[in-house]
Amino acid sequence: MEILVCVKNVPDTGEEEIELDGNDLDYDELTYVVNEWDNYAVEEAIQIADKVGGNVTVITVGNEDADEVLRREMAMGAGNAIHLEDEAFEKSDAKGVATILKAAVDKGKYDLILTGAQADAGYGAVGGMLAAMLDYPYASLVNKIEVGSGKLTVGREIEGGNTEMNEIELPCVLSIQTGINEPRYVGIKGIKQVSGVDIPKFAASDLGLDESSVGEEGAIVKRQDYFIPEAGEGAEMLEGSDDEIIAKLIEILKANGGL
């Protein structure tokens, strides 16, 4: 089975203080890591390939910094990587990213395409858009995959902590939820082993893309503003004995229409 996994490098917000630059983030001093959801997708792809045979390819749309994420996922166990890099791709919205990925998918032959459920922008839209452009079946928030003959049985996380099971034909696109597995540890030795591997790069012209269909020019969603909301007054802490606190709470509820 040929499996393609779409990955992305995202700012490490747990380690860095986020600064703003106009209506966007100031990216100059940020440290990047692989998107958490994508890491689970790569692990699941590797496990499937180990069970049924096949190969895992990781692909990303990004600048030169994204090369590090591809190599990390190769050190994890992916056999190949593809880097889609072009200045024309910068500031692409979800539709633009899906357009770029679709052009790359058309140049290969894949049985299964995996994405993370969402990335740093939080739209959770690229997987579904890519599936629609390819006219492939699609399932989101997947937390279980069983491989059958020409089809998969997939579990989806839905409201209330429940899981629904669906049968889906190959080829298809799945967006992977965290918790589907336990991504393996990647050590320095593994990263060094793939440091010299040649990763092919493709620009818009290589993919046969009109530059006006991607990037900022092709975006149908354009950010107007980006800001950190002002902090509110915070919670009111009630003090006193249990009876005093209960009495104060009742007063507050009555004053705010809760009783």
Around 31, how many Cα atoms within 13 Å sit in the side-chain half-sphere? 6
pLDDT one-digit tens code per residue, 166-210: 999 999 999 999 999 999 999 989 989 999 999 999 999 999 999
Of 128-142, 149-163, 198-212, which range is least confident?
A: 149-163
pLDDT exceeds cutoff 70 at 15? no
Name the burial class of residue 206, with classes exposed (0-12), middle (13-18) and buried (19+) by CB atoms within 10 angstroms of its CB: middle
* Per-residue pLDDT at 16: 62
Does residue 54 carry a pLDDT above 70?
Answer: yes
- C-alpha 230/C-alpha 11 separation (Å) is 22
Strands (E), the chain: 2-6, 9-11, 20-21, 24-25, 32-34, 55-61, 80-84, 112-116, 138-147, 151-157, 163-169, 172-176, 201-202
Query: In this structure, are strands 163-169 and 151-157 parallel, antiparallel, or unpaired?
Result: antiparallel
What average pLDDT does range 36-60 have in this prediction? Answer: 97
For the chain, list the domains and their CATH numbers.
2-218 (3.40.50.620)
Residue 162 pLDDT exceeds 70: yes
Cβ partners under 8 Å of residue 13, min gap 6: none
72-123 per-position pLDDT tens digit: 999 999 999 999 999 999 999 999 999 999 999 999 999 999 999 988 778 8
